[in-house]
């Protein structure tokens, strides 16, 4: 029998509320700290528990959650079913072809066992558990010794080591300084669209300089750079804008199943509006097979959208080959390049890219600002998605945020100037990290190692859930996937598209290195990860079965 993360964490969290909250609401962040369960995970679990009327929320100061019933009236079975969890156990089957109408000799052993297990879970209440002497001893031990089983801090660093540079990057101090000069009365604070006085002229000059810096990194003309609020808006403007403008020519769009949600959700929206979308799976290494793309193209295909650098696994697609194919077929090519600047060379002319989405905060610039490259020759037309003033050549209305644009321009300037030296340093650290981990048993690297940006490692540790590993490594700030989806309880859709099964997809963490990462931090990360993997596997019955030589893929699980 096994109970996976949702069920175990839900029961643990409910026990915490029962222990700490009979007379007051219990805050989720307190549960998170006490039980080493991520806050985002708890938020999703408690949403389900509230819908099942097992807990009730209390807002305002001192807010949190209370049990909706007495701890005697809530069974473990209630909690498990509330979070859509199922208890799995082995069943007879296989060549014996056992079923209810034609049972094998042991059939009723397993059905009786199943009934007894469910009855047991129904008859054990939260109160039964927390009143046990063993549980009380654990509580006392934690209170007196401040014990944290797997997250004990042995770190001499002031804060957790940041290894999540693909989620966001800190702003470069040089960038922040330049931005700060565009905010106050002493600085250049004017509206760039105010062309009747020097305040507007000075701001416009800085915006033009930033536009030049961004264009230089991707080898574009400055007139082809359109400011947006970030890569998500750029993706929406590019895909929706092109689809609606060229819909008379066709209604078929192509993308990859491993794209960022900003692309996938936009595509799904267009499907609801009558467009046809083909989602291509990559090879097991995360890279697109060009022949698969060729076969997917139809006479009605008007746009292909492919991410340059994947945000989860860091692989780099052959945009030059894809661009040549699209240009030959007269199909618009959109590229989400949010993760590319400062990591890989970009040349929109050489790559035959028509539309490219860019972001500042992945390149040591500020959040809330991005850009869209829109080709002028041959000219690409878009239907605007935001109206009101006709800014940015009519593509994107809205007052330009001078300080953010200046920040993006400076960040891209340094990305272009320092890419080579940064990549040498970061690749050395990435290789050191991988060398320190790759001999761990049942470890899998997700995505091609060579055709990959220097700072990314996405690793699956079999028989360990990524969420548990993150909680066990509190010294490290890492993620279990894209920051936009890592709060989800579901396995990474990117890893599933690579052919990883649910278990391996659930056991993955993403480690991304940046220019502020040090060698000492990497050494400590290796130590923490190796120790945590060892401790977690020592607690895993699946690991014990694997070590006993049981082929877990041959075990037949059934749900009740």
Beta strand pairing call for 161-162 and 476-477: parallel
pLDDT for residue 163: 96
The verdict on residue 42 lying in a domain is yes
Q: 95: domain CATH number? A: 1.10.10.10
- What pLDDT, in 10s, does the model give residues 5-22? 678 888 888 998 888 877
CATH of the domain at 515: 3.90.1150.10
Q: What is the C-alpha separation between 336 and 156, in angstroms, rounded? A: 39
User: In CATH, what number is assigned to the domain containing residue 298?
Assistant: 3.40.640.10
* pLDDT less than 50: residues of the chain: 1, 94-95, 144-153, 482-487, 560
Looking at the fold, whether 245 and 379 belong to one and the same domain comes out as yes
Residue 358 confidence (pLDDT): 98
> Looking at residue 357, what is its pLDDT?
98
Same domain, 68 and 16: yes
**Structural domain of residue 77, as residue ranges?**
5-143
Residue 156 tokens read as 């001499």
Report which of 437, 438, 468, 434 is spatially closest to residue 542, judged by C-alpha positions. 468
Q: pTM of the full predicted structure?
A: 0.76
Same domain, 192 and 288: yes
Q: Report the number of distinct structural domains present in the chain.
A: 3
- Per-residue pLDDT at 145: 44
Provide the greatest CA pair distance for the chain. 92
pLDDT at 556: 59
Task: Tell me the sheet residues that pair with 89.
Answer: 558
Residue 31 shares a structural domain with residue 47: yes
Beta-carbon neighbour count of residue 391 at 10 Å?
Answer: 17
Find out whether the peptide bond into 378 is cis, omega within 30 degrees of 0.
Answer: yes
Instruction: Give me the residues paired with residue 267 across strands.
Output: none
Of the residues 143, 164, 181, which one is the last residue of a structural domain?
Answer: 143
pLDDT value, residue 435: 97
The 3-state DSSP class for residue 193 equals coil
Cα separation, 225 vs 220, in Å, equals: 8
Inter-residue contact 359 to 231 (CB < 8 Å): yes
Known catalytic residue: 484? yes
Residues 66 and 128 in one domain: yes
3-state secondary structure 272-336: HCCCEEEEECCCCCCCCCHHHHHHHCCCCEEEEEEECECCCCCEECCHHHHHHHHHHCCCEEEEE
Pair of tokens at residue 363: 């390149």
Task: Report CA torsion sign: 468, 531, 502, 336.
Answer: positive
What's the burial of 115, exposed, middle or buried (CB within 10 Å: 0-12/13-18/19+)?
exposed
Residues 64 and 190 in one domain: no
pLDDT of the residue at 395? 84
CA angle 507, 34, 132 (to 5 degrees): 100
Residue 323 pLDDT: 97
């Amino acid at each position: 029998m096994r109970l996976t993360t949702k069920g175990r964490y839900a029961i643990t969290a409910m026990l915490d509320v029962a222990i700490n909250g009979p007379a007051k609401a219990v805050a989720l962040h307190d549960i998170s700290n006490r039980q080493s369960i991520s806050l985002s995970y708890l938020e999703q679990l408690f949403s389900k528990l509230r819908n099942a009327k097992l807990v009730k929320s209390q807002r305002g100061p001192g807010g949190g959650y209370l049990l909706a019933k007495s701890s005697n009236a809530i069974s473990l079975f209630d909690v498990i079913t509330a979070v859509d969890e199922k208890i799995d156990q082995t069943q007879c089957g296989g060549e014996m072809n056992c079923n209810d109408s034609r049972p094998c000799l042991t059939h009723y052993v397993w059905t009786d066992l199943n009934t007894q297990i469910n009855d047991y879970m129904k008859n054990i209440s939260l109160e039964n558990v927390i009143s046990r002497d063993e549980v009380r001893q654990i509580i006392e031990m934690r209170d007196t010794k401040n014990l944290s089983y797997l997250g004990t801090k042995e770190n001499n660093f002031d804060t957790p080591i940041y290894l999540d540079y693909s989620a966001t990057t800190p702003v470069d101090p040089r960038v922040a300084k330049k931005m700060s000069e565009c905010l106050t009365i002493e600085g250049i604070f004017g509206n760039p669209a105010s062309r009747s006085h020097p305040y507007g002229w000075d701001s416009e000059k800085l915006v033009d300089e930033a536009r030049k810096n961004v264009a230089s990194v991707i080898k574009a003309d400055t007139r082809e750079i359109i400011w947006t609020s970030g890569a998500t808006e750029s993706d929406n403007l590019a895909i929706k804008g092109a689809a609606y403008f060229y819909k008379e020519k066709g209604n078929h769009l192509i993308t990859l199943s491993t794209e960022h949600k900003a692309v996938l959700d936009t595509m799904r929206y267009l499907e609801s509006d009558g467009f046809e979308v083909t989602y291509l799976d990559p090879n097991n290494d995360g890279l697109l097979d060009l022949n698969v793309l060729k076969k997917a193209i139809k006479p009605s295909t008007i746009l292909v959208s492919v991410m340059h650098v994947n945000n989860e696994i860091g692989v780099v697609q052959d945009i030059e080959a894809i661009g040549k194919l699209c240009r030959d077929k007269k199909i618009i090519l959109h590229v989400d390049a949010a993760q590319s600047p400062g990591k890989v060379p970009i040349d929109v002319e050489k790559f035959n890219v028509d539309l490219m989405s860019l972001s500042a905060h992945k390149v040591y610039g500020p959040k809330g600002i991005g850009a869209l490259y829109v080709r002028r020759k041959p000219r690409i037309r878009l239907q605007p998605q935001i109206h009101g003033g006709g800014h940015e050549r009519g593509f994107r209305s809205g007052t330009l945020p001078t300080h953010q644009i200046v920040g993006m321009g400076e960040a891209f300037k340094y990305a272009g100037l320092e890419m080579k030296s940064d990549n040498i340093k970061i690749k050395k650290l990435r290789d050191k990290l991988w060398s320190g981990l790759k001999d761990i048993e049942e470890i899998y690297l997700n995505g091609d190692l060579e055709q990959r940006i220097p700072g990314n490692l996405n690793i699956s540790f079999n028989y360990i859930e990524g969420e548990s590993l993150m909680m066990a490594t509190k010294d490290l700030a890492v993620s279990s996937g894209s920051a936009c989806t890592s709060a989800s309880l579901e396995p990474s859709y990117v890893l599933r598209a690579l052919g990883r099964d649910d278990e391996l997809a659930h056991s993955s963490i993403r480690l991304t290195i940046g220019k502020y990462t040090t060698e000492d931090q990497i050494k400590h990360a290796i130590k923490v990860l190796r120790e945590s993997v060892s401790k977690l596997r020592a607690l895993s019955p699946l690991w014990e079965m694997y070590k006993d030589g049981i082929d877990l893929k041959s075990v037949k699980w059934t749900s009740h």
